[in-house]
Amino acid sequence: MLGYLPDEQKDQVKCAMKAAFSMKADKGRQKLNQLAKWLEREYPSASGSLLEGIDEMFTINKLGLPKALCRCLCSTNVIESPNSGIRSRTHRVKNWQTHVMVVRWAAASLLDMEKRFKRVMGYQQLWMLEVKLKESEEERIDDKSKVA
């Protein structure tokens, strides 16, 4: 989204987005909608990009999890770090003979990296995430049964 903005606007928009993400889901979504309206006149592509994923942006905020766990879940580091490690360990392989070979190399890379993985921030509260996800799933099932 920031790629659609000129450099002089990027810092202001980043600050507004950061403030919105620190709020509860409803208020944060409301702030981002205001920001999108403001951007729409001069930067319609940026506004459209912002509105495109606005519902998904507050998924973690809706769950009401502790800050340490939210911070970890809002980052892609948990995914990117292992992918980067696999890439660095397999970049010299030029002829992947079968999918079994790919899986074996990926698994061996992950096992090697496992020793260096740090704990997930907020790992003590992961049980809360599990409870919230189960509650969310139960609500979704109840909503479907009411419609049917």
pLDDT per position as a tens digit, 66-94: 888 888 887 788 888 899 999 999 999 98
* CB atoms near residue 124 (< 10 Å): 12
Task: Identify the domain containing residue 143 by its residue range.
Answer: 67-147
Q: Would you say 4 and 49 are in contact if contact means Cβ atoms under 8 Å apart?
A: yes
Global pTM reads 0.60
* CB atoms near residue 36 (< 10 Å): 20
Largest CA distance in the chain: 55
pLDDT in the model for residue 97: 92
Give percent above pLDDT 70 in the chain: 99
Looking at the structure of the chain, the number of domains it has is 2
Tell me: do 107 and 87 sit in the same domain: yes
Instruction: Give 114's pLDDT tier (boundaries 50, 70, 90).
Output: confident
Tell me: do 141 and 79 sit in the same domain: yes
Instruction: Give 148's pLDDT tier (boundaries 50, 70, 90).
Output: low
pLDDT in the model for residue 53: 79
Q: Would you say 20 and 57 are in contact if contact means Cβ atoms under 8 Å apart?
A: no
Tell me: do 47 and 100 sit in the same domain: no
Tell me: do 93 and 117 sit in the same domain: yes
pLDDT (mean) for 122-145:
85
Mean pLDDT of all residues in the chain? 88
Task: State which of 63, 84, 105 marks the end of a domain.
Answer: 63
Tell me: do 141 and 90 sit in the same domain: yes
